[in-house]
Structure 1
Amino acid sequence: MLAFFWPGVAHYDTIAQYQQVVSGAYYDWHPPAMARLWSLFHAAGWAGQGPMFLLQTALYWGGLGLLAAALAHGGARIAALAVLALGLWPPFLGWQAVVVKDGQMAGALLAATGLVAWKRLAGKPLGLALPAILALFLYAVLVRANAVFAVAPLAVGLLTPWRWQEWPSRALLIGAATLAVLALSPAINQRLLGAEPSGVETTQPIFDLAGIAHRAGPDAVPLVPSETWRRLEAQRCHSSILWDIFSTGKRCDFLQQGLTGQPRQAIVAAWLRAIREHPAAYLSHRLAHWNATMRWFVPWHFPQAVPQAASLPNGFGLASPDPQVAAYDRVAGWLANSPLGAPILALAVALAVLALARPAHSVAHGLAVPLALSATAMELSFLVVSIAGDWRYHLWSMLAAGLSAILLLTRPLPRRAARIALAGIALVALTSLGARLMLPQVGDAYEALIR
Structure 2
Amino acid sequence: MRGLSPEARAGLAAALLCVGVLLFFWPGVAHYDTIAQYQQVVSGAYNDWHPPVMARLWSLFHALGWAGQGPMFVLQTMLGWTGLGLLAAALARGGARIAALAVLALGLWPPLLGWQALVVKDGQMAAALLAVTGLFAWCRLDAKRLGPIATSAVVALLAYALLVRANAVFAVAPLAVGLFAPWRWQAWRSKGLLIGAVTLAALALSPLINHRIFRAEPSGVAATQPIFDMAGIAHRAGPNAIPLLPAETWQRLEAERCVSSVLWDIFSIGKRCDFIQHGISGRPRQDIFAAWTRAIRDHPGAYLSHRLAHWNATMRWFVPWHFPQAVPQAESLPNEFGLGSPGHQVLAYDRFAGWLANSPLGAPILALAAALAVLALARPAQSAAHELAVPLALSAMAMECSFLFVSIASDWRYHLWSMLAAWLAAILLLTQPLPRRGARIALAGLALVAFTSLGARLGLPQVGDDYEALILRY
Per the shorter chain, which TM-score range?
over 0.9
- Among 275, 281, 299, which residue is 2:320 paired with? 299
Amino acid at match of 2:146: L
- Residue 164 of structure 2 is matched in structure 1 by 143
How many residues align? The count is 451
Structure 2 length normalisation: TM-score? Answer: 0.95
- Residue 155 of structure 1 is matched in structure 2 by 176
- Among 459, 467, 471, which residue is 1:438 paired with? 459
- Residue 15 of structure 1 is matched in structure 2 by 35
Gaps of 5+ in 1: none
- Residue 385 of structure 1 is matched in structure 2 by 406
- Residue 264 of structure 2 is matched in structure 1 by 243
- 2:26 aligned with 1:2, yes or no? no
Written as runs of structure 1 = structure 2, the 5 A alignment for 1:185-196 is 185-196=206-217
Q: In structure 1, what is the Cα distance between the partners aligned to 2:51 and 2:289?
A: 21
- Residue 280 of structure 2 is matched in structure 1 by 259
- Among 232, 240, 252, which residue is 1:219 paired with? 240
- Among 43, 56, 63, which residue is 2:63 paired with? 43
- Among 109, 120, 125, which residue is 1:89 paired with? 109
1:200-228 C-alpha deviation (Å, 9 max, x unpaired):
00000000000000000000000011000
- Among 282, 299, 308, which residue is 1:287 paired with? 308
SS in 2 for 1:348: helix
Amino acid at match of 1:197: P
* Deviation, structure 1 residue 431: 0.2
* Deviation, structure 1 residue 31: 1.3
- Among 333, 347, 353, which residue is 1:332 paired with? 353
* Deviation, structure 1 residue 61: 0.4
Q: In structure 2, what is the Cα distance between the partners aligned to 1:180 and 1:109?
A: 19
1:132-182 C-alpha deviation (Å, 9 max, x unpaired):
011100000000000000000000001121111111110000000001111
2:464 touches 2:470 (CA, 8 Å); kept in 1?
no
- Residue 423 of structure 1 is matched in structure 2 by 444
Amino acid at match of 2:41: V
Q: In structure 1, what is the Cα distance between the partners aligned to 2:443 and 2:182?
A: 27
Q: In structure 1, what is the Cα distance between the partners aligned to 2:460 and 2:380?
A: 41
- 2:424 aligned with 1:409, yes or no? no
Q: In structure 2, what is the Cα distance between the partners aligned to 1:174 and 1:126?
A: 21
SS in 2 for 1:175: helix
* Deviation, structure 1 residue 190: 0.5
Q: In structure 1, what is the Cα distance between the partners aligned to 2:139 and 2:118?
A: 30
* Deviation, structure 1 residue 185: 1.0
1:221-242 C-alpha deviation (Å, 9 max, x unpaired):
0001100001110000010000
Amino acid at match of 2:358: N
Amino acid at match of 1:74: G
**RMSD (Å) for aligned C-alpha atoms:** 0.5
Q: Percent of pairs identical after alignment?
A: 81
- Residue 366 of structure 1 is matched in structure 2 by 387
- Residue 352 of structure 1 is matched in structure 2 by 373
Amino acid at match of 1:238: V
- Among 130, 141, 158, which residue is 1:121 paired with? 141
* Deviation, structure 1 residue 288: 0.1
1:246-272 C-alpha deviation (Å, 9 max, x unpaired):
000000001100111110100000000
Q: In structure 1, what is the Cα distance between the partners aligned to 2:152 and 2:281?
A: 44
* Deviation, structure 1 residue 448: 1.2
Structure 1 length normalisation: TM-score? Answer: 1.00
* Deviation, structure 1 residue 195: 0.2
- Among 161, 169, 176, which residue is 2:190 paired with? 169
* Deviation, structure 1 residue 127: 1.4
- Residue 276 of structure 1 is matched in structure 2 by 297
